Amino acid sequence: MSSPEIAELPQAHADSPIPAPEPTGNAAVDAALERLRELAERPAAEHPALYDDVHQRLQAALADLGR
Protein backbone atom coordinates (compact mmCIF):
# COMPACT_ATOMS: atom_id res chain seq x y z
CA MET A 1 0.00 0.00 0.00
CA SER A 2 1.42 3.37 -0.97
CA SER A 3 1.06 6.46 1.16
CA PRO A 4 -1.23 9.22 -0.11
CA GLU A 5 0.44 12.30 -1.53
CA ILE A 6 -0.01 15.52 0.36
CA ALA A 7 -0.43 18.64 -1.71
CA GLU A 8 1.56 21.64 -0.55
CA LEU A 9 -0.22 24.94 -0.83
CA PRO A 10 1.92 28.03 -1.43
CA GLN A 11 0.18 29.95 1.36
CA ALA A 12 1.17 27.22 3.82
CA HIS A 13 4.73 28.55 3.95
CA ALA A 14 5.41 31.20 6.57
CA ASP A 15 7.81 33.10 4.30
CA SER A 16 5.24 33.45 1.50
CA PRO A 17 3.64 36.90 1.29
CA ILE A 18 -0.11 37.05 1.70
CA PRO A 19 -1.59 38.47 -1.50
CA ALA A 20 -3.81 41.51 -1.33
CA PRO A 21 -7.51 40.67 -1.57
CA GLU A 22 -9.24 41.64 -4.79
CA PRO A 23 -11.33 44.80 -4.37
CA THR A 24 -15.02 44.10 -3.95
CA GLY A 25 -16.23 47.62 -4.66
CA ASN A 26 -17.50 47.97 -1.09
CA ALA A 27 -15.10 49.99 1.08
CA ALA A 28 -16.24 48.37 4.36
CA VAL A 29 -15.78 44.85 2.97
CA ASP A 30 -12.42 45.73 1.44
CA ALA A 31 -11.19 47.15 4.77
CA ALA A 32 -12.33 44.04 6.63
CA LEU A 33 -10.62 41.69 4.18
CA GLU A 34 -7.44 43.75 4.24
CA ARG A 35 -7.13 42.98 7.97
CA LEU A 36 -6.55 39.31 7.07
CA ARG A 37 -3.12 40.28 5.76
CA GLU A 38 -2.12 41.00 9.38
CA LEU A 39 -2.28 37.30 10.22
CA ALA A 40 1.29 36.64 9.07
CA GLU A 41 2.62 39.31 11.44
CA ARG A 42 0.68 38.21 14.49
CA PRO A 43 1.23 35.25 16.79
CA ALA A 44 -1.33 32.45 16.45
CA ALA A 45 -2.79 33.32 19.84
CA GLU A 46 -4.02 36.64 18.37
CA HIS A 47 -5.62 35.08 15.27
CA PRO A 48 -9.04 34.35 16.85
CA ALA A 49 -9.49 38.00 17.86
CA LEU A 50 -8.52 39.18 14.39
CA TYR A 51 -10.90 36.70 12.74
CA ASP A 52 -13.64 37.83 15.13
CA ASP A 53 -13.04 41.48 14.19
CA VAL A 54 -13.16 40.67 10.46
CA HIS A 55 -16.35 38.66 10.98
CA GLN A 56 -18.02 41.51 12.87
CA ARG A 57 -17.00 44.01 10.18
CA LEU A 58 -18.40 41.79 7.44
CA GLN A 59 -21.64 41.31 9.37
CA ALA A 60 -21.98 45.08 9.76
CA ALA A 61 -21.34 45.60 6.05
CA LEU A 62 -23.99 43.01 5.23
CA ALA A 63 -26.48 44.65 7.60
CA ASP A 64 -25.82 48.01 5.95
CA LEU A 65 -26.86 46.60 2.58
CA GLY A 66 -30.43 46.28 3.83
CA ARG A 67 -30.69 49.94 4.87
| Residue range of the domain that includes 39 | 25-65
Give the residue-averaged pLDDT of 42-58. Answer: 96
Say if 8 falls within a structural domain. Answer: no
Please state the pTM of the whole predicted model: 0.70
pLDDT value at position 61?
95
Read off the pLDDT of residues 10-43 as tens digits, 9 standing for 90 and up.
Answer: 555 566 667 788 999 999 999 999 999 999 899 9
Say if 37 falls within a structural domain. Answer: yes
Exposed/middle/buried for residue 26 (C-beta within 10 Å: 0-12, 13-18, 19+)? middle
DSSP state letter for 13: S
Q: Of 14, 18, 44, whose CA–CA distance to 33 is shortest?
A: 18
Say if 42 falls within a structural domain. Answer: yes
Q: How many domains does the chain have?
A: 1
Say if 17 falls within a structural domain. Answer: no
pLDDT value at position 40?
87
Amino acid at 51: Y
Cα separation, 26 vs 60, in Å, equals 12
Q: Which helix H or strand E contains 60, and what residues bound it?
A: helix 47-65
Say if 32 falls within a structural domain. Answer: yes
